[in-house]
């Protein structure tokens, strides 16, 4: 249970859903973890719940709006000050928009690009100098199956998640000589507030029907894959894309 012993991780969007599952798993594998989110109260509650299980000061809650460079600097500085450095960044924060191309307003386009695309770039840009100080690191960018293949609707979401896939590969090539690995994860249907809020099972059924495994997944099933990429077990893995989708993108 010590796959991340002596590692420090920063997880964006860690208040709930997949980010919270990753924080729980990382902490249980020996990491010190900072979770950053715009939902300050929920972020604190999530950190407190993990600390109650695993010990005080295992997880820290920080305010982080991924669209703001100043927030990223604050989050990375907190990791360095409180935990001694930064080894792992999970760019997990994201927002959805299910509208089609003509139905998407310019404001909606800019908002999703800011969070899902610019946020990932800003996170990497801010984390790399701290990782360099440690002699290496691991960055995991959470894209989507919608960053691998198209569908009718969710146009802006597709654009941002496709961008994350190639941002990841470009960063992987640039930072390989500095032992900073960068990989992307492409989840399929994962039962989190993002997909469950305001939708019932009936609306999700078409996605399940298109999934060879005929089911959605728990956030923990993504977290185990993020853990592998974060750990030294993935020491020769960089620039890779891992679909965690029950076979959706293979069909
Ligand atoms: P979620 O909505 O439960 O969690 C996302 C978190 O990101 C929330 O806590 C939210 O407050 C936070 N967030 C939103 N905007 C932010 C900002 N500007 N700054 C900081 N935090 C912000 O959703 P989730 O399913 O856990 O999503 C995690 C990631 O997985 C996202 O990038 C999402 O696009 C991706 N994803 C999800 C699914 C799925 O089926 N759930 C599928 C593919 C990809």
> Residue 13: CB within 6 Å of ligand 1?
yes
Three-state secondary structure call for residue 183? strand
From 62, 74, 93, give the residue whose CB has the most ligand 1 atoms within 8 Å, as the site to mutate. Answer: 93
Hey, whose CA ends up nearest to atom 34 of ligand 1?
Answer: 94
Contact 114, 123 (CB under 8 A): no
> Residue 19: CB within 6 Å of ligand 1?
yes
Residue 49 has pLDDT above 80, yes or no: yes
Residue 119: which of 75, 61, 80 has the closest Cα?
A: 75
Neighbouring C-beta atoms of residue 173, cutoff 10 Å: 12
Cα-to-centroid distance, 95 and ligand 1 (Å): 6
Cα-to-centroid distance, 92 and ligand 1 (Å): 6
> Residue 189: CB within 6 Å of ligand 1?
yes
- Mean pLDDT of the 100-112 span: 98
- In tens, the pLDDT along 107-148 reads 999 999 999 999 999 999 999 999 999 999 999 999 999 999
- In tens, the pLDDT along 217-240 reads 999 999 999 999 999 999 999 999
Q: What value does the mean pLDDT of the chain take?
A: 98
Contact 37, 93 (CB under 8 A): yes
- So which residues are the catalytic ones? 157
> How would residue 42 be classed by pLDDT, with cut points 50, 70 and 90?
very high
- In tens, the pLDDT along 164-209 reads 999 999 999 999 999 999 999 999 999 999 999 988 889 999 999 9
> Residue 140: CB within 6 Å of ligand 1?
no
Domains of the chain: which residue ranges?
A: 8-239
Can you give the pLDDT at residue 199? 86
pTM over 0.95: yes
Strand order in the sheet with 241-244: 59-63, 32-37, 8-12, 88-91, 137-142, 180-187, 241-244
Can you give the pLDDT at residue 198? 81
Q: What are the b/e assignments for 60-71, b being 16+ CB within 10 Å?
A: bbbbbbbbbeeb
Contact 161, 218 (CB under 8 A): no
Can you give the pLDDT at residue 201? 86
Contact 155, 104 (CB under 8 A): yes
Thinking of the domain 8-239, which architecture would CATH place it in?
Answer: 3-Layer(aba) Sandwich (3.40)
- Mean pLDDT of the 150-166 span: 97
Residue 1 has pLDDT above 90, yes or no: no
- Kindly tell me the sign of the dihedral angle through the C-alpha atoms of 109, 195, 15, 170: negative
Cβ-proximal residues to 148 (8 Å cutoff; 6+ apart), any chain: 162, 165, 186, 241, 243, 249
Hey, whose CA ends up nearest to atom 3 of ligand 1?
Answer: 17
Q: Which atom of ligand 1 is nearest to 193's Cα?
A: 3
Neighbouring C-beta atoms of residue 239, cutoff 10 Å: 15
């Amino acid at each position: 249970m010590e796959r991340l012993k002596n590692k420090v991780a920063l997880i964006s969007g860690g208040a709930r859903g997949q980010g919270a599952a990753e924080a729980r798993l990382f902490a249980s594998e020996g990491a010190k973890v900072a979770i950053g989110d715009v939902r300050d109260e929920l972020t604190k509650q999530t950190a407190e719940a993990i600390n109650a299980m695993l010990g005080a000061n295992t997880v820290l809650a920080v305010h982080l709006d991924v669209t703001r460079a100043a927030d990223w600097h604050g989050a990375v500085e907190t990791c360095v000050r409180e935990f001694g450095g930064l080894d792992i960044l999970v760019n997990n924060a994201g927002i959805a928009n299910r509208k089609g191309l003509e139905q998407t307003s310019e404001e909606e386009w800019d908002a999703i690009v800011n969070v899902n695309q610019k946020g990932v770039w800003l996170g990497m840009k801010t984390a790399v100098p701290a990782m360099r100080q440690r002699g290496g690191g691991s960055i995991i960018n959470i894209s989507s199956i919608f960053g691998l293949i198209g569908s009718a609707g969710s146009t802006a979401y597709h654009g941002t998640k496709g961008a994350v896939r190639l941002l990841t590969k470009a960063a992987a090539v640039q930072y390989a000589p500095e032992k900073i690995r960068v990989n992307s994860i492409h989840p399929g249907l994962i039962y989190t507030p993002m997909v469950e809020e305001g939708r019932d099972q009936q609306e999700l059924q078409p996605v399940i029907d298109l999934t060879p495994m005929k089911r959605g997944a728990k956030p923990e099933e993504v977290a185990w894959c993020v853990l592998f990429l974060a750990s030294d077990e993935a020491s020769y893995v960089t620039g890779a894309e891992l679909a965690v989708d029950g076979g959706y993108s293979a069909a």
